[in-house]
Every structure is written in structure tokens, then in C-alpha cells.
């Protein structure tokens, strides 16, 4: 038998009809009856759970369960449902590929292409021939022209690309991977688990820090289907290390008649090492090195939409394209449109200027300094009573699990609110319209102009003053 106080609280919960009537009496916005009833039920249910969970009466001192309180909570929930959940955010963190903020900011041409493709388009129609076409054809030639690969295909993300390629080439068979390359990315992509989900069997060779050619050679038997190399995108093994380069692995694969696949993670198409960034493998270099199947992300260093790109030799791509799983992993027209426009910039435009990710990563320090100082001086002028404003040297990061060692020198605007506690102020900025997210460091809020669009600077000032 439950305690008396608990019974009392449970008995005091209003009936759904009563709370719905109370909501109608507020005379506020009209919501359809079924929606309102459901929202009220959800609120009453959650109150009931709260009562049942409470360890003692004191936990419920602020408990509100009048019909009016329930009505008010239900209406608030419905009003929230009507607002867009995905909101624009001004990224002032300086992390260029901020996974929580949607990774790559897309190029203007990519946004326009998405808009164009949003209606009807020739996604799977060959217009001149008047026949059914294939969705892969829209970007395949651009990808092969850019990378030197024989064939290409696009799926939803790189995790899907890895899974599809492994499933096609090695389901039920063995795949050999170095122990130093069993990566976890973003908490949910783990090579051993993706491998298991694909139906392939993982054979680990070598050790965490050293894997040699002979380790692969010895592990191969008649059940082996594939040699896999995984780019350690988000960490580095340093000190006494040895890894087999992909060109050597390609030689071994050829001699044994086994395909060699590489999960490259970030797909870098242009060399950025002259700009102080780590030397990342270029996609075209890997194809030239003899990799048979290469997978990469569309929304990391490539700077396009979320997508997984599979490149490589035609024989293997033909098999991948025939896999039934591809039907479940295929990208939509809007994604393909954005990817096509992004790839066209690489081929025909000025990627360092027109692909925002690349422009941000290569932004000159003098520009960053000028923009930080300009923003700081406007803020000093507009909010002298509220803000302490300073300009400082700091570092930006690549993010998205790419180039983990690269710290890009930058200048930030460092701010402190003179009247509001920091946590409260930062939350207010985060939940404003537009939302402003910066980097908190001790009792300062840092705004890095690298990831703020020039056109957003005025809005940043409005958010802060």
C-alpha cells in the first residue's frame, strides 16, 4: 500500500477533460482537439511518474497539478512544437567543422542547387532519352574527373559507405585491419562494430603502435576477402610507430589477388599544408597509390553536404551499385544537388574562396585580426556599461574529427558581462534568435571571427547589445 501522501497527490491529478477545458478557457491560440488532449495526457502522465518516483513528500513541495497548471504546460508544449526545432546558429566557436552545429557550412552555389532540386527534377530520368535514369550519374563524372577514380557512387554518409563496401566485398569473409587503425569516430562509428554489422569478419594484425607488411601477409588465408586501411582521422600514434603505407598494401593486394580498401574519413581534395594545416592524404593521391575502393565523407574537409562517397575501380563499384543495401542508403535529390554544386566549384571555380570550409581554414591571420578588432570596437562603443571587451591571440580548430593536431592561430574577441553571471548570459545568447554560440574559457566568452560570416557580424552585435 502506497504512503498516504503519495495517494493524496495521485488523487489530486486533474482529469484530462478538466484540464482540456481549462486550456480552452485561457482563450489563447487554438489547437486542434486531438493534439490538445494528447498534450494534456502527456503532462498528466509525467506528473504521475514524478509522484511515483518521489522518495518523500519534500520532493514534491513545488509540485503544481491544478487543471490550470496542466493546461498551461500543455499549451506551452504545443506552441514549442509549432516553432522550428532546427534553428540557425551563429558559430563563433572557431571550430570549422563543428559536428554539433552541422559540420560544413555549404557554399552559396550548393544552397541554390538545393533550392532548385527541392521541386521536381530529373533525379532518375534521362531527359534526352525519355527513359529511366540513375541517380548516381549526376555526380559520378565530377567525382572521377576530380580524383582519377574509374567509378563512383554516393550514399548517406561515410559510415554507410564503409558498411556498404564491406558488405559487398567481404560479407561472410575475413577482412584484415591493423590494430593501430581500429578507430572510433564521434562515439558511434567504431570499425569493429561497423564491420560486424556489415557481415564481414575482422582479423586484427600487428600491435597498437606497429604493424608491418609481414603481419598482413601472414594473416591472409583462403577466407580473406579484403585488406582494409583506416585513416586515423581523429588521433595520431606517435613515438615508435610503424604502419604499412597504402601503396605497399596495394602491392600486396595485387600479388594476392585481393582488393585493398581505405576508409579515408575526411576527403581532402586540395593540399592545405601551405596554410599551416597538417598534411592530410589527398583523395587523388590515394587513388593513384592503387587503392581499389576508397570511402570518404561529404561534409568534412570536402565542405559539402552530409554524404558518403565511394570511389575506385569499376569492377568493384559495379558490385557495390548492385547491392540491395544501396537502396536503403541512397542519398536524396537535395543532397545530390548540393554535392554536385560543391564538386563543380573544385573543378571549375575557386575552392579556397568559394568553399566556406576551405576559406575559413585558410583565412589570413591579418584578416582575422582586423575582423576581431572591428567587432571589438563596435561592441565597446555600443555596450560600454555591460561588456568588458578585449582582443586576444588564440587558436581555432578544424573539428569534425579531422586534423586533430592542428591549431590555427587566430584573434578572438574576449567578452565578460559586467552584470549577469556568465552561465546565465551564455545561455541567453545560445537560446536567442539567432542563436549565438561561442567558446567559454574560464570567465571569458570568446568569439572567433574565423567561423562567423562577415554578413553575420552585425547580428552578433545585436545579440550582444
Ligand X SMILES: *Cc1c(COP(=O)(O)O)cnc(C)c1O
- Contact between residue 298 and residue 307 where contact means Cβ atoms under 8 Å apart: yes
Of 133 and 404, the one with the shorter C-beta distance to ligand X is 404
Stretch that binds ligand X, among 196-204, 262-270, 316-324, 357-365 (CB under 6 A): 262-270
Q: Which of 91, 95, 198, 297 binds ligand X (CB under 6 A)?
A: 297
Nearest residue (CB) to ligand X, 235 versus 395 = 235
Stretch that binds ligand X, among 182-190, 345-353, 441-449, 450-458 (CB under 6 A): 182-190
Residue 28 or 192: the one with the smaller Cβ distance to ligand X is 192
Binding mask 138-167 for ligand X (x = CB under 6 A): -------------------xxx--------
410 binds ligand X (CB under 6 A): no
When asked if residue 135 is in the footprint of ligand X (CB under 6 A), the reply is: no
For ligand X, which residue has the nearest CB? 265
Report if residue 401 touches ligand X, rule: CB under 6 A.
yes
The secondary element (H helix, E strand) that includes residue 146 is helix 137-147
Residue 260 lies near ligand X (rule: CB under 6 A): no
Q: Which span sits near ligand X by CB under 6 A: 25-33, 169-177, 263-271, 326-334? A: 263-271
Q: Residue 262 interacts with ligand X (CB under 6 A)?
A: no
Task: Give the nearer residue to ligand X in terms of CB position, either 93 or 266.
Answer: 266
- How many angstroms separate the Cα of 359 from the Cα of each of 74, 92, 332, 349, 353? 46, 16, 27, 13, 5
Q: What is the nearest approach in angstroms of ligand X to the Cβ of residue 82?
A: 31
Tell me how far apart the terminal alpha carbons of the chain are, to the nearest angstrom. 57
Q: Which of residues 261 and 460 has its CB atom nearest to ligand X in the complex?
A: 261
Phi, psi of 308 (to 5 degrees): -115, 130
Stretch that binds ligand X, among 2-10, 181-189, 386-394, 450-458 (CB under 6 A): 181-189
The least CB distance from residue 188 to ligand X, in Å, is 9
Closest CA to 338 of 51, 93, 106, 83: 106
Gap between the Cα atoms of 339 and 107, Å rounded:
10
The least CB distance from residue 155 to ligand X, in Å, is: 9
Residue 361 has what DSSP assignment? H
Figure out which of the listed residues 9, 91, 97, 189 binds ligand X, where binding follows CB under 6 A.
189
Can you tell me which of 95, 147, 178, 233 binds ligand X, judged by CB under 6 A? 233
Q: Which residues, other chains included, contact 161 with Cβ-Cβ below 8 Å and sequence gap of 6+?
A: 155, 295, 296, 308, 309, 310
105 vs 231, beta carbon nearer ligand X: 231
Least gap, CB of 185 to ligand X (angstroms): 4
The residue among 234 and 323 lying less far from ligand X, judged by its C-beta, is 234
- C-beta closer to ligand X: residue 93 or 157: 157
- Restricted to residues 93-132, the positions that interact with ligand X (CB under 6 A) are none
E strands, 150-297, are: 151-155, 174-178, 184-185, 189-190, 201-205, 224-230, 260-265, 293-297
Contacts with ligand X in 301-320 (CB under 6 A)?
A: 308
* d(C-alpha 358, C-alpha 391), whole Å: 24
Q: Which of 365, 406, 379 is nearest to 95 (CA)?
A: 406
Contact segment (CB under 6 A) with ligand X among 4-12, 227-235, 322-330, 416-424 equals 227-235
Cα separation, 136 vs 342, whole angstroms? 16
To ligand X, the closest distance from the beta carbon of 159 in angstroms equals 4
Single out the residue of 452, 116, 163 nearest to residue 464, CA to CA.
452
- Please tell me whether residue 230 binds ligand X under the rule CB under 6 A: yes
The three state secondary structure string of 278-322 is CCCCEHHHHHHCCCCEEEEECCCCCCCCCCEEEEECHHHHHHHHH
Residue 323 sits at the vertex; the CA angle it makes with 317 and 326, to the nearest 5 degrees, is 90
Residue 231 found at the interface with ligand X (CB under 6 A): yes
User: Measured from the CB of residue 385, what is the shortest distance to ligand X in angstroms?
Assistant: 45
Query: Around Cβ 374, how many Cβ atoms within 10 Å?
Result: 15
Distances (CA, A) of 421 to 171, 189, 344, 383, 385: 56, 38, 48, 17, 15
Tell me how many degrees the CA angle 108-112-116 measures, rounded to the nearest 5.
Answer: 170
As to burial, measured by CB atoms within 10 angstroms (0-12 exposed, 13-18 middle, 19+ buried), residue 119 is exposed
Q: Under the rule (CB under 6 A), what is the footprint of ligand X?
A: 157-159, 183, 185, 189, 230-231, 233, 263, 265-266, 297, 308, 401
Amino acid at each position: 500500500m502506497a504512503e498516504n501522501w503519495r495517494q493524496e497527490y495521485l488523487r489530486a491529478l486533474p482529469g484530462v477533460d478538466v484540464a482540456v477545458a481549462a486550456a480552452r478557457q485561457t482563450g489563447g491560440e487554438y489547437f486542434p482537439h486531438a493534439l490538445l488532449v494528447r498534450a494534456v495526457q502527456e503532462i498528466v502522465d509525467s506528473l504521475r511518474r514524478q509522484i511515483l518516483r518521489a522518495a518523500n513528500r519534500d520532493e514534491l513541495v513545488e509540485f503544481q497539478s491544478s487543471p490550470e497548471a496542466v493546461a498551461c504546460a500543455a499549451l506551452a508544449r504545443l506552441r514549442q512544437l509549432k516553432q522550428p526545432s532546427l534553428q540557425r546558429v551563429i558559430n563563433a566557436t572557431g571550430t570549422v567543422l563543428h559536428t554539433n552545429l552541422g559540420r560544413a557550412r555549404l557554399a552559396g552555389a550548393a544552397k541554390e542547387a538545393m533550392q532548385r532540386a527541392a521541386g521536381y527534377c530529373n533525379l532518375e530520368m534521362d531527359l534526352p532519352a525519355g527513359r529511366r535514369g540513375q541517380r548516381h550519374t549526376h555526380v559520378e563524372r565530377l567525382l572521377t574527373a576530380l580524383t582519377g577514380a574509374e567509378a563512383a557512387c554516393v550514399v548517406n554518409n561515410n559510415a554507410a559507405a564503409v558498411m556498404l563496401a564491406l558488405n559487398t566485398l567481404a560479407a561472410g569473409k575475413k577482412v584484415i585491419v591493423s590494430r593501430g587503425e581500429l578507430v572510433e569516430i564521434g562515439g558511434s562509428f567504431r570499425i569493429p562494430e561497423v564491420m560486424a554489422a556489415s557481415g564481414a569478419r575482422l582479423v586484427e594484425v600487428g600491435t597498437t603502435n606497429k604493424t608491418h607488411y609481414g603481419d598482413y601477409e601472414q594473416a591472409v588465408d583462403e577466407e580473406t576477402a579484403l585488406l582494409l586501411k583506416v585513416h586515423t582521422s581523429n588521433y595520431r600514434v606517435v613515438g615508435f610507430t610503424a604502419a604499412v603505407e597504402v601503396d605497399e598494401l596495394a602491392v600486396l593486394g595485387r600479388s594476392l589477388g585481393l582488393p585493398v580498401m581505405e576508409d579515408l574519413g575526411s576527403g581532402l581534395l586540395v593540399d592545405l599544408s601551405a596554410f599551416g594545416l597538417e598534411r592530410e592524404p589527398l583523395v587523388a593521391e590515394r587513388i593513384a597509390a592503387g587503392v581499389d575502393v576508397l570511402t570518404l565523407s561529404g561534409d568534412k574537409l570536402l565542405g559539402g553536404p552530409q554524404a558518403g562517397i565511394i570511389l575506385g575501380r569499376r569492377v568493384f563499384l559495379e558490385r557495390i551499385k548492385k547491392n540491395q543495401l544501396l537502396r536503403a542508403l541512397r542519398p536524396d535529390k537535395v543532397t545530390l544537388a548540393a554535392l554536385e554544386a560543391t564538386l563543380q566549384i573544385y573543378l571549375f571555380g575557386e575552392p579556397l574562396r568559394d568553399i566556406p570550409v576551405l576559406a575559413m581554414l585558410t583565412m589570413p591571420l591579418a584578416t582575422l585580426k582586423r575582423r576581431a578588432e572591428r567587432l571589438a570596437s563596435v561592441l565597446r562603443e555600443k555596450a560600454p556599461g555591460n561588456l568588458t571587451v578585449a582582443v586576444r591571440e588564440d587558436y581555432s580548430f578544424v573539428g569534425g574529427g579531422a586534423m586533430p593536431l592542428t591549431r590555427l592561430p587566430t584573434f578572438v574577441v574576449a567578452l565578460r558581462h559586467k552584470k549577469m553571471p556568465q552561465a546565465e548570459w551564455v545561455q541567453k545568447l545560445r537560446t536567442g534568435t539567432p542563436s549565438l554560440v561561442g567558446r567559454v574559457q574560464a570567465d571569458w566568452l570568446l568569439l572567433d571571427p574565423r567561423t562567423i560570416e562577415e554578413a553575420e557580424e552585425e547580428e552578433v552585435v545585436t545579440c550582444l547589445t
